[in-house]
Amino acid sequence: MRKPFLILLLSLTLIAPLRAERTKVAQVGMQFLKIGVGARAVGMGEACVVALDDLSAMFWNPGALAISEASGVAVYQTNWICGIKHYAFAGAFDYRKYGTLGISLIYMDYPTLTATRPPQSWEIGQPFQILGEFQILDFAVGVTYSRRVTNKLSVGVQVKYVYEDLGNSDIILESIPDVEDPTKTAGFKTKNVNNTLGAVGFDIGTVYYTGLKSLRFGMTVQHFSKDMKYKSVADYQHEPFSMPLTFKIGMAMEISDLFPQLTNVHQFTLSTDLIHPRDYTERIHIGGEYWLKQIIAIRGGYKFNYDSESLTGGLGVRFGIGRLKAYLDYSMSDFGEYFDNINRINFGVQF
């Protein structure tokens, strides 16, 4: 019985260093890739590197996709902040001894935005200029392959194409001097550019079962990509940036395995993840999931070292539709005093 408590103790002892000075910020782009997919994973505090056995695993750790050993499809929706909608789709086919092949899609639905420009030096006293409306587009399409190498080890990789369109904007080519006073600037020569980028990213991950009950651990590297650039002022290029590269280590165990007489009715999973993002200091996620007769689930978790996010919770239910096994999940995330709570829902079926 001491093993599960050691897992929790290890997580708690690592929380203190997370209060160190935060120096890594604004180093990555494609920020929508950071938004958690799936009410089950988020309900557990996103402590899910090795805790998932459904299709949402391909968004967190491609090595865990093969654990489910089932084919199916699932859809996901997140009501994000400021009226933004986040949608995702996952589909997978299990080829048994040859592994599991999956496809995924993430799509962001932004409200229409208004472009403005502040007054320049020769326009002092004038209001902001409205330049018109524009639309932002973000999406990512991925292909995942995952396989059980042995009865204890599974590995996986995801290749994805990520696209972002931030609309058009003017870049300054050179200044135009004032005719009466050449030391002053009367305006700028500009060029209109389309701020779009497309790039290929990679995720890799593993899950390893230790043989001690259901105790397992694993790792994943997400959003590995080359550097990208947008158009800019001087050399027509901004500083380079990459996707939000993140390294995660996770550990999980069904605590209920320690009580065999209860496993037919009750199942409780405790999990913890250590997060090392490229653009922030280290973080810890802790979560739990309780199943009653594998029909109804209650989830909870906590995310340490975030400015806004912290407590999460959720519910889940499994049921049959003919010969299909279906599941419906809901979660809510506390997003601090400045934003409303974030609600997620997803529905999936397994063949």
Q: What is the mean pLDDT of the chain?
A: 88
Which parts of the chain sit beneath pLDDT 70? Answer: 1-26, 120-125, 231-238
Q: What is the number of H-type helices and E-type strands within the chain?
A: 2, 16
pLDDT of 235 reads 53
Spell out a b/e string for 305-321, using b for 16 or more CB atoms within 10 Å of the CB, else e.
beeebbebbbbbebeee
φ and ψ at residue 266, rounded to 5 degrees? -120, 140
pLDDT of 4 reads 45
Burial of 106 (0-12, 13-18, 19+ CB in 10 A): buried
Burial of 269 (0-12, 13-18, 19+ CB in 10 A): buried
pLDDT of 155 reads 97
DSSP-derived secondary structure letter, 111: P
Q: 3-state secondary structure string, 273-297?
A: EEEEECCCCCEEEEEEEEEECCCEE
3-state secondary structure of 319: strand
Q: What's the whole-model pTM score?
A: 0.86
3-state secondary structure of 256: helix
Angle of CA points 7, 335, 41, to nearest 5° = 45
What is the dihedral angle through the alpha carbons of 129, 135, 136, 140, rounded to the nearest 10 degrees? Answer: -170
3-state secondary structure of 58: helix
Place of tokens 């009226």: 83
- Euclidean distance between CA atoms 140 and 136, whole angstroms: 14
- Where do the domains of the chain lie, and which CATH numbers do they carry? 2-350 (2.40.160.40)
* β-bridge mates for residue 208, sequence order: 153, 217
- What does the radius of gyration of the chain's CA atoms come to, in whole angstroms? 24
Q: How far is CA 105 from CA 90, 143, 209, 312, in A?
A: 7, 9, 29, 24
pLDDT of 25 reads 66
Do 139 and 155 form a contact (C-beta atoms < 8 A)?
Answer: no
In what helix (H) or strand (E) does residue 164 lie, and over which residues does it extend? strand 153-177
